[in-house]
């Protein structure tokens, strides 16, 4: 059960994977999102949320745990026809609820970060722009395989919770 539920947002389940992949498809093709395989999504399913309207998946977000209380929001997308209706906001708020609970259970601060082309979107939740070099784990884990690695225009944003 999704304890920190925001209406319309729930944890993803295995049967959502194909819809998640198709949501991401056009943004992967245009280079906004990094490609993910069904296996990647399955592996990260316990920290993946979807928004749903009339039984259809309208958006998704995942959290990757790098250890040391560091979490990345990734594979974050809202279906174009559902954008600008508060869905992206609800997904990020759900992630922040989850991390607030994590902070309480750990009794330690946790850090949320994202690499993004839309830093202004994240600022409304208190994230601020920081140097990408702060996240060598991400660079080691994913960026080294990215086609745009030598000319990356993404901006790092961070929130300490």
Ligand X SMILES: CC(C)(COP(=O)(O)OP(=O)(O)OC[C@H]1O[C@@H](n2cnc3c(N)ncnc32)[C@H](O)[C@@H]1OP(=O)(O)O)[C@@H](O)C(=O)NCCC(=O)NCCS
In angstroms, what CA-CA distances link 15 with 11, 36, 156?
A: 12, 16, 31
The reply to whether 140 sits near ligand X by the rule CB under 6 A is no
The reply to whether 78 sits near ligand X by the rule CB under 6 A is yes
The reply to whether 60 sits near ligand X by the rule CB under 6 A is no
Q: Which is nearer to ligand X, 111 or 116 (CB)?
A: 116
The reply to whether 135 sits near ligand X by the rule CB under 6 A is no
The reply to whether 132 sits near ligand X by the rule CB under 6 A is no
Among 14, 25, 53, 120, binds ligand X (CB under 6 A): 120
Question: Which residue is listed with tokens 């389940």?
Answer: 13
Which tokens sit at 135? 């996240």
The reply to whether 62 sits near ligand X by the rule CB under 6 A is no
115-122, Cβ contacts within 8 angstroms, sequence gap of 24 or more: 115/72, 115/143, 115/152, 115/154, 115/155, 115/156, 116/154, 116/155, 116/156, 116/157, 117/32, 117/153, 117/154, 117/155, 119/155, 119/157, 121/88, 122/92, 122/157, 122/159
Among 12, 64, 71, 76, binds ligand X (CB under 6 A): 76
The reply to whether 32 sits near ligand X by the rule CB under 6 A is yes
Among 11, 27, 66, 125, binds ligand X (CB under 6 A): 27
Residue numbers of the site for ligand X (CB under 6 A)? 27, 32, 76-78, 83-89, 114, 116-118, 120-121, 124
């Amino acid at each position: 059960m999704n304890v920190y539920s925001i209406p319309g947002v729930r944890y993803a389940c295995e049967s959502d994977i194909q819809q998640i992949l198709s949501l991401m498809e056009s943004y992967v093709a245009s280079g906004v999102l990094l490609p993910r395989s069904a296996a990647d999504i399955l592996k990260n399913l316990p920290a993946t949320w979807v928004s749903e309207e009339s039984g259809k998946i309208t958006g998704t977000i995942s959290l990757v745990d790098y250890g040391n209380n560091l979490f990345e929001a990734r594979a974050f997308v809202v279906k174009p026809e559902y954008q600008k209706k508060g869905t992206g906001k609800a997904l990020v708020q759900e992630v922040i609820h989850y991390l607030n609970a994590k902070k309480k259970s750990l009794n330690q601060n946790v850090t949320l970060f994202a690499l993004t082309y839309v830093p202004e979107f994240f600022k409304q939740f208190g994230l601020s722009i920081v140097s990408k070099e702060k996240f060598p784990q991400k660079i080691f884990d994913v960026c080294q395989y990215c086609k745009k690695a030598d000319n990356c225009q993404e901006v790092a944003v961070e929130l300490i919770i």
